[in-house]
Structure 1
Amino acid sequence: MDKPTVWIKPGIVSIFGTSFDAASHSHQAIQLVWPSLESLCTVNGNEIAQPIIINSKIPHQLKMTQGWILLIEPKSDLGESLIHMLNKQDYMPFNFPFISRCDPEDVPNSLNTVLAPLFSYLNLPIPFLFKNNSTVIDKRIKQIIRQLDKCLEGDCIKPKTWRAAKVASQLCLSESRFLHLFSQELGVSWRPYLLWRRMMCAVQAILNNTSATHAAHSAGFSDSAHLSRTFKNTFGMTIRQALTLFKR
């Protein structure tokens, strides 16, 4: 059986794929693109044919024959390092040769071997690749982030458990205060952030050989079509297209 070459951990998604062709899209993650072959990324109308770091919420379109994509949450150790590097720029191209692809049979060691030179070039600590801690300060919001992280380790908690009013009550906050505090801490509103996490949980379930329908329901989507539409709006391709690209 083919093995997926995408690894989802709290605060970071690491992907090796081929034949990327994503329509214009934007998302909350900072994106690092490291192509091994021809690549063309369009940002702000500029066509860039080299490795690139794209800031959070910046619309972009990507065509890449083969290579790596890292999606990093801004409010994380690695995210804040990249934000500092970007220095308020929408994107930052850079030159760095491609080394080799990752071996899914030995993910941690292979990721370290393949991505360490890139991280070293960018002055990024390689441990952040495996443990990219949240940098949220407020203890109440950190508690929610830790609970959401647990969804990636096992069964996703359906979104009815995550309604703003119920979460606020759990934290002894009013709903309006919770929503304001969350946006202040994360730089993104509660609902789109939760939607992002639900998509990651659904993708993780599919990678674990769960059917798309069951994965969608477990993550709170009405059906697999709802999941795919949401995924396409976020990443510029359907989840079926994406999973095809992530197979070796």
Structure 2
Amino acid sequence: MITSNVWIDTGLVLIYGSQLDANYHQHVAIQLVWPCCDSSSELNGETIQGLVVIASKHSHCLKMSKGWILLVEPHSLLGEQLEAKLQGQSMVSFELNADDKAHPPIDKESAFQLVAPILRVMSIEQTLLNCNQSSVADERIQRLLENLDACFVADCIKPERWRAASVAQTLNLSESRFLHIFKDQVGIAWRPFLLWRRLICALQALVTGKSATDAAYMAGFSDSAHLSRTFRSTFGMSITQAKNLVK
């Protein structure tokens, strides 16, 4: 039976890892990092001890002997609150009390509950962690995101169905108009956002015990080598390293 140290929910990826060694990389998610109290951790070559919030699309590298990472999509309500805490900065730090230090992983529900004190440190409501709503106002883009979110709870919709021209047609928009509205509403261009979701699809496949080849196929990559290259540039680690997060 596979016991995961990676939990995926709508717009969220929660990771508990040991001996994390991620080279410089960037992705569309806002990243929270908090080491265990006995962890040796470096972010961009500098020692960290408390909670660090890293802005979307900000290049960074992380070495952490033991601790937690939370990836949050910026258009979510939680992402919106984190953006406000960043105030335009590439990263911000928060001190943690001893009781707020990272703990060992358990089941998914309990794992996400452990994030609550971390949010309290930033004066963010815990309910935002469990809220799948986004800050997107345009109903067409909302429906599109809901369709993509279905991949978290049902069979994944193959990415070939999500080409910009095809999506725009279903929304009765020109391709250029769709791309403009999506970027305006979500804060991320359509193509990098879709690539991000495809990578999360692949990660979810790895968590459930699929091979890198099967994960690549499920997420719409041409082969495992294509997935591996994209995965490394996005997460700063190889597929093999990622699979080691799953016990």
Corresponding pairs, count: 241
- TM normalised by structure 1 equals 0.92
Counterpart of 1:103 in structure 2: which amino acid? I
Q: How does 1:47-126 map to 2 (within 5 A)?
A: 47-50=46-49, 51-96=51-96, 97=98, 98-104=101-107, 107-112=108-113, 114-126=114-126
Counterpart residue type for residue 204 of structure 2: Q
Does structure 1 retain, via aligned residues, the 8 Å contact 2:67–2:102?
no
Residue-by-residue CA offset, 1:142-184 (whole Å, 9 max, x unaligned)? 1110000011222221121001111000000011100111111
Comparing 167-176 with 214-223, greater Cα deviation is found at: 214-223
* Residue 115 (structure 1) shift: 2.0
Counterpart for residue 199 of structure 2: 199
Distance change >3 Å, CA 73–CA 110, structure 1 → 2: closer
Q: Which residue of 1 aligns with 2:42?
A: 40
Is the Cα contact below 8 Å between 1:25 and 1:236 reproduced in 2?
A: yes
Distance 2:214 2:17 in 1: 25
Secondary structure at 1:133 match in 2: coil
- AA at the equivalent of 1:40: E
Aligned-partner Cα distance in 2 for 1:94–1:13: 21
Give the corresponding residue for 1:16.
16
Which whole-Å CA distance do the structure 2 matches of 1:206 and 1:214 have between them?
A: 9
CA–CA distance in 2 between the matches of 1:99 and 1:221? Answer: 35
Name stretches of at least 5 consecutive residues in structure 2 with no aligned partner.
Answer: none
User: Are positions 1:180 and 2:185 aligned together?
Assistant: no
CA distance in 2, matches of 1:68, 1:235: 15
* Aligned-residue offset at 1:194: 0.3
Deviations 1:8-65 (A, max 9, x none): 11111111111111111111111000100111101xxx72412211111111110000
Task: Quote how far apart the aligned CAs of 1:125 are.
Answer: 1.6
Conservation of the 8 A alpha-carbon contact between 1:10 and 1:133 = no
Following TM superposition, by how much is the alpha carbon of 1:99 offset from its aligned partner in structure 2, in angstroms?
4.3
Contact 2:2 2:209 (8 Å CA) reproduced:
no
Structure-2-length-normalised TM-score: 0.93
C-alpha separation in 2, matches of 1:146 and 1:111: 22
Match in the other structure for 2:246: 247
- AA in 1 matched with 2:104: R
Letter in 2 for 1:93: S
- Give the conservation status (yes or no) of the 8 Å contact 1:9–1:130: no
Distance 2:132 2:22 in 1: 26
Which runs of 5 or more residues in structure 1 are unaligned? none
Equivalent positions of 1:150-229 (< 5 A) are: 150-229=150-229
Identity %: 48
SS in 1 for 2:61: strand
Deviations 1:58-99 (A, max 9, x none): 111100000000000111111011111111111101211414
- Root-mean-square deviation (CA, aligned residues, Å) is 1.5
- The secondary structure found in structure 1 opposite 2:188 is coil
The one-letter amino acid of 1:237's match is M
CA contact (8 A) 1:202 1:215 kept: yes
